[in-house]
Amino acid sequence: MIVDRCKECGLCINVCPQKVLERGNEFNIYGYRYVSPKYIEKCVGCRLCEYICPDFAIYVEVDGL
Amino acid sequence: MDIIHPLDRYLRTDRLPHIWCPGCGIGIVISAMLRAIDRHISEGHFTQDDVATVSGIGCTARATLYLNFDSAHVIHGRAIPFAIGLKVIKPNLKVIVIGGDGDIAAIGGNHLLHSARRNMDITVIMVNNMVYGMTGGQVAPTTPMKVYTTTTPYGNLEYPLNLIKLVSSLNTNYVARASVTHPHLIERYIYNALSRDGFSFIEVISICPEVFGRHIGFRNPVELFNKLKSMIKFKAKPSIDESDIVWGKEIVLGEYVNEYKSGFIKLLYGS
């Protein structure tokens, strides 16, 4: 996550098939409660959140690729 | 700024975060476009210096400000004439026109017709959010019927302009429709459009929760996204007759025209 680019639209939470992401309780410098990958161990690396993020805030790095 | 995101080398990161509202679909289109260009560059078809982006006025046209390519931000609706001039004088450039439906379909509609008629070698990406977003949600030529906007409080009574049918009737090489709910399709269509000569037109159905969704009861970006996703239907070979947009019914995605005619530049300069 690049937290200062997040605008809290929630599209990434909506599209994630594994429900990895969750809206956090902390604020970034623009006052948005940014999304955090709370259940990162469930992630399968499908990159749907990276594709759907309109703010270039999320990217997925998969080990071993 | 350091390169953190994989697409940061194509972005002016000191300008980010961008001005678009939370949940706006334009950022999804831009990131899909950058992935398509990145795939072309990694396959060695052209380099980053060979890409030029042109845009007019509007929310979508702000995109050229954030893209790290040679870019021009010209007057309202005149992005396509500028792009034609650029392409004719520098034929090895890949010229991409990004615009909204107000810029490309409404005020620049005539330029769209005539560049499509000439089969000019440019790629036009039209982000269709079905409303004039930047000026406060007035009715646009692409607004579907019976939809409430700021200037149609009793529902829109005008038939919308169907750009797919219009551009398909001209001498074009590639006409496709994608949607922000399926970003992989946007990437694939832009990749296909950039790998051929001639005029290619991609309409991307986008979401505008701030001024379009507000009047029709989907203020939350996620609700509007899911509503649009429920209407989307993908077909491998759709017919042009089923391309009409009616709010609440199916919106058919796919490649409507897919041909390999020679473009204007090849006729002008020879092979």
All structural domains of chain A, each given as residue ranges with its CATH number in brackets, are 3-52 (3.30.70.20)
In a domain, B235, yes or no: yes
Q: What pLDDT score was predicted for residue A45?
A: 85
Question: Quick check: B2 pLDDT over 70?
Answer: no
Q: What pLDDT score was predicted for residue A64?
A: 65
Residue B55, SS3 per DSSP? strand
Query: Which CATH number characterizes residue B39's domain?
Result: 3.40.50.970
Question: Which pLDDT band, with edges at 50, 70 and 90, does B17 fall under?
Answer: confident
Provide the residue range defining the domain that includes B106: 23-269
**Tens digits of per-residue pLDDT, B52-109?**
999 999 899 989 999 999 999 999 989 999 999 999 999 999 999 999 988 999 998 9
Residue B35, SS3 per DSSP? helix
> Do A52 and B8 count as a contact with CB atoms less than 8 A apart?
no
In a domain, B4, yes or no: no
In a domain, B7, yes or no: no
**Cα–Cα nearest to B27, from A7, A26, A4:** A7
B53 forms beta bridges with B71, B96
> Do B23 and A30 count as a contact with CB atoms less than 8 A apart?
no
Q: For residues B72 and B162, give the distance between their C-alpha atoms in angstroms, rounded to a whole number.
A: 27
In a domain, B201, yes or no: yes
How would you label B231-250 residue by residue, b for 16+ Cβ within 10 Å and e otherwise? Answer: bbeeeeebeeeebbbebeee
Task: Find the mean pLDDT for residues B16-28.
Answer: 89
Q: For residues A43 and A16, give the distance between their C-alpha atoms in angstroms, rounded to a whole number.
A: 9
In a domain, B52, yes or no: yes
In a domain, B55, yes or no: yes
Task: Find the mean pLDDT for residues B176-183.
Answer: 92
Q: What pLDDT score was predicted for residue B75?
A: 92
Residue A18, SS3 per DSSP? coil
How many separate domains does chain B show?
A: 1
Q: Which residues of B touch A32 (CB under 8 A)?
A: 22
In a domain, B10, yes or no: no
In a domain, B34, yes or no: yes
What is this structure's pTM? 0.92
| Nearest by CB: A51 against B17, B20, B183 | B183
Q: Chain-wide mean pLDDT for chain B?
A: 90
Question: Which pLDDT band, with edges at 50, 70 and 90, does B201 fall under?
Answer: very high
| Nearest by CB: B24 against A4, A10, A54 | A54
**Tens digits of per-residue pLDDT, B215-232?**
888 888 899 999 999 999
Complex confidence, ipTM: 0.90
